[in-house]
Amino acid sequence: MSGTSEKEAKPLMSGDGAGPRRLAVTDVPGHVPYARGLEMQDDLVARRRDGQAGDTLLLLEHEPVYTIGRTRERSSLGAVPMLPHPVHEISRGGQATYHGPGQLTGYPIVDLTRCGRDLHRYLRLLEQALIDTCACFGVKARRLEGMTGVWIEDRKLASIGVGVRRWISLHGFAINLTPESLSGFQAITPCGISGVKMTCLAAESPHPIDRSRFTEALVPALENVLYG
């Protein structure tokens, strides 16, 4: 067990006071070791699968780490012994990415039956929730044809990679909020995209950016795309 303190997951009230949200939120303070984040996901997936919990959004910032999906093509990591942070191979799709302070990582643990058990549709819904949230901060984010993730013009703002167990989702999205989140990308080829430029919301928005404000806008946006 990590020494990181963790807030208990609990239903949040909707913004208009109409009732509890359909998506419980666990917002973990501090910087969470990647292995601990996996343990938390595993527990939530098992509880959701067994009917002991509803859909949950796990939000956190990781200690600096690189992750890569299960693939033989690992060139996006570059020279692994030279990397400044550890590497975890995980059960999502996709090439290498970086997680660390200043980046908000979201793990929606949801029953994908409501999405028709369609992973491609689910990816588009996650993208839309992030695009809608960015609009709250005066930023026109978008999809890029043939790419998964969220972009501002040709600059990548958020990465998305998901996994599924018995149609319960795990893993999710990572959006760069502050400049602190960007330095770790310099040692890899992010998502295997040669020459890609990473950006953060603080560099693109005319408004102050912090995790609390972003979360307040993100949760209803995610609920809207998932539940209508």
- Residues with a catalytic annotation lie at 191
The residue assigned the tokens 């070791």 is 33
Q: Give the relative orientation of helices 119-135 and 211-227 as an angle to the nearest 10 degrees.
A: 140
d(Cα 159, Cα 210) in Å, to the nearest integer?
Answer: 19
Closest CA to 14 of 227, 214, 225, 219: 219
Q: Are 123 and 56 in contact (CB under 8 A)?
A: no
If you search the block for the tokens 């501090």, which residue do you land on?
Answer: 30
H helices then E strands: how many in the chain? 4, 10
- 8 Å CB contact between 48 and 91: no
Task: Give residues with Cβ within 8 angstroms of 122, minimum separation 6.
Answer: 112, 115, 162, 169
